[in-house]
Amino acid sequence: MSRNNGIDRRQMLKLAGLSAAGLGLTAAGCGSGSSGSGGTVTIRHSWWGADDRAKKVQQCVTLFEKKHPKIKVKTDFQQYADFWKKFNTQAAGGNPPDVIQNAVTFLRKYEAKNVLLDLKPQAEKGNLDLTGFRAGLEKFAEIDGRLFGVPVGSNSMALVIDEKVYEKAGVAPGAGWTWDDWYAGMQKIKNGQGIAGDAGPHGVMYLYDLMLRQNGKAFFTEDGMGFGEAELLPYWTEALARVKSGVYADPKKVEQIKPASATAKGLSAGEFTWDNFSVRYSAEGKSSYGLAPIPTTDGKRTGQYLGSLMLSGSARTKHPAEVATFISFMTHDPEVARIMGYDRGVPATTAQFEAYEPADAPNKAIGAYETAIADAGVLEPITPHPAGADVIEAAFLRIGTDLSLGKSSPEESVKQFFSEAKTALASN
C-alpha cells in the first residue's frame, strides 16, 4: 500500500498469489533470546523496492549503526515479486530475515503460520516506542492483542485527476461530493473533450472496499468475504456498460501503455489509486495533476482509512530486543524521515511527519491531502484482511480487467471471482 518506485500495482499483483505453503513454523523457543554477551549483534533487514529506496534505507542503517554501535544490520532488497519469492524460500527453510518490510495483505497469512514476531513484549520492555503515531497507526498490525508490525508510513485512497481537463470541463470535486456527482462530471468531460472520465476503477479492490464501507459492509471480515454476488454483480455490470459507452477508458489501450498510467498518458481524466502513488504522474505526463476527495454515497462517509507499509520481525530471530530497537529507530528518528521522505508513504509518527517538509508540489499535495482527511474526521479503522487476501486482491484485478476486455460476462466474472476467493481462503 505504498509507493513502489514506479511499479504499477497491476504488475505487483501478478505474483501476489505466491504460496506460503510449507511455512508452518513453530514459534516455540524462538524470539526469546538476545545478545546477552555484551558483544556485537548482527540482524538482517530485507525489503522490496528499487535502487533509490535501497540507497535511502542504507543511509538510515548507517545512521542507526552509529547510534547503536553494538548492533550491525545486514541489508538485502529485491523487486516486489522477487522479494516474496525469496522470503517464502527463507521462511520455509527456517532462516528468514530478522526484520522485513511488510504489508497488510500478507499480515494474517504469515501470522497464521507463526512466521512473525509479536512485538508487544518488546514494547512492554521499553525496546519499542509505540507513542506518537498518527491516527492510531500503532494498532494497524494488531491481531488478537498481539502486534506483528509497526507502520513506517501511511497512505489513503484518492482520486488523481488531470487538473487542466477538470478545469476546462468546469468540474470541481470537493469534500462530500457523491458518486452521482462524480459520474456526471465524467460524462461532462467525455462529451465536451472526448476524453474518458476514468481509467476504469472496477478492478481496484481497495476502492470497492470503500464503496462497501460507505454502505455498512466491507470487502473482508476477519475470516472471509464481507459481501456476496448480489453486491458485485450490479457493480461489474455497470462498469462494463461504462467501458462500452466510453466513460471509462478503452481497456485495450490502458493495457498497451502499462506500466504507465492511463491518466498521465491522456487516456482518462482521472483514476483511483493510493495518494502517495501520485508522485509518478508529473514524471509520466505533461499536464498538472491533483488529488481529489473520494466520492460518497451520503455526502459524508468516505469509508477511508490510513494504510501503511510496516516493519515486522521474524518469530525465529535470536535478537528480538535488537530487532525492536531497530524498528523503533526507523519509525521515530527525525533524520530517518529527512532521508526517506515520502518514499514509503507519509511518515507514520508525528515526530517524523514534522521533521520532513517536502519541497516538491506532488509530495506537498500528498501531505496536505492526508492532513485534510484526518482533520475532516472521515478516517476509520481498517478492516482486518484474512489470510489469502493477497491472492484475492490479485484475482479481483485480473478478473475485473478480463471483464472490461470482453473475455467474460459480468455473471461469469462474478462467479469466477467468488470461486477463486473461496479457494484462496480455504488454502490459507
Residue 425 CA: distances (Å) to CA of 175, 220, 228, 392: 36, 11, 15, 8
Where do we find the cell 505533461?
Answer: 286
Can you name the residues that pair with 46 across neighbouring β-strands? 76, 100
In a domain, 4, yes or no: no
Task: Examine the domain organization and report whether 240 and 285 are in the same domain.
Answer: yes
Assigned C-alpha cell, 104: 497488510
Confidence of residue 39 (pLDDT cuts 50, 70, 90): confident
Where do we find the cell 519541497?
Answer: 359
Task: Examine the domain organization and report whether 286 and 337 are in the same domain.
Answer: no
Q: How far is residue 150's CA from residue 132's CA, in Å, rounded to a whole number? A: 12
pTM of the model: 0.85
Task: Examine the domain organization and report whether 161 and 88 are in the same domain.
Answer: no
pLDDT in tens, 350-390: 999 999 999 999 999 999 999 999 999 999 988 889 999 99
Report whether pLDDT(3) > 50: no
Task: Using CA atoms of 379, 381, 386, 388 in order, give the dihedral in degrees to the nearest 10.
Answer: 20
Task: Examine the domain organization and report whether 172 and 249 are in the same domain.
Answer: yes
Reference 25, options 390, 336, 290, 314; nearest CA is 314
Task: Examine the domain organization and report whether 334 and 296 are in the same domain.
Answer: no
Per-residue pLDDT averaged across 218-227, rounded? 93
pLDDT in tens, 265-310: 999 999 999 998 888 898 899 999 999 999 999 999 999 999 889 9
Give the number of C-alpha atoms closer than 13 A to the C-alpha of residue 387, restricted to the C-beta side: 16
Task: Examine the domain organization and report whether 95 and 170 are in the same domain.
Answer: no
- N-to-C CA span, the chain: 21
Q: How far is residue 271's CA from residue 381's CA, in Å, rounded to a whole number? A: 24
Count of residues making up the chain: 428
Task: Examine the domain organization and report whether 116 and 69 are in the same domain.
Answer: yes
Task: Examine the domain organization and report whether 293 and 163 are in the same domain.
Answer: yes
| Count of structural domains within the chain | 2
175 CB burial (10 A radius; 0-12, 13-18, 19+): middle
In a domain, 377, yes or no: no
Task: Examine the domain organization and report whether 161 and 221 are in the same domain.
Answer: yes
Confidence of residue 38 (pLDDT cuts 50, 70, 90): low
Assigned C-alpha cell, 371: 492532513
Residue ending a domain, among 345, 374, 396, is 345
In a domain, 354, yes or no: no
In a domain, 151, yes or no: no
In a domain, 392, yes or no: yes
Q: Where are the beta strands (DSSP E) in 96-198?
A: 99-103, 142-143, 146-147, 150-151, 153-154, 157-162
Domain with residue 13: its CATH number is 3.40.190.10
| Predicted pLDDT of residue 32 | 39
In a domain, 371, yes or no: no
Reference 119, options 276, 320, 277; nearest CA is 320
SS (H, E, C) 19-60: CCCCCCCCCCCCCCCCCCCCCCEEEEEEEECCHHHHHHHHHH
Task: Examine the domain organization and report whether 264 and 406 are in the same domain.
Answer: yes
* Residues 162/270, Cβ–Cβ less than 8 Å: yes
Q: 39 lies in which domain range?
A: 9-133+308-345
Task: Examine the domain organization and report whether 220 and 249 are in the same domain.
Answer: yes
**How confident is the prediction for the chain on average, in pLDDT?**
91
Task: Examine the domain organization and report whether 294 and 180 are in the same domain.
Answer: yes
In a domain, 180, yes or no: yes
- Give me the DSSP letters along 57-76: HHHHHHHHHHH-TTEEEEEE
In a domain, 364, yes or no: no
pLDDT in tens, 94-123: 999 999 999 998 999 999 899 999 999 999
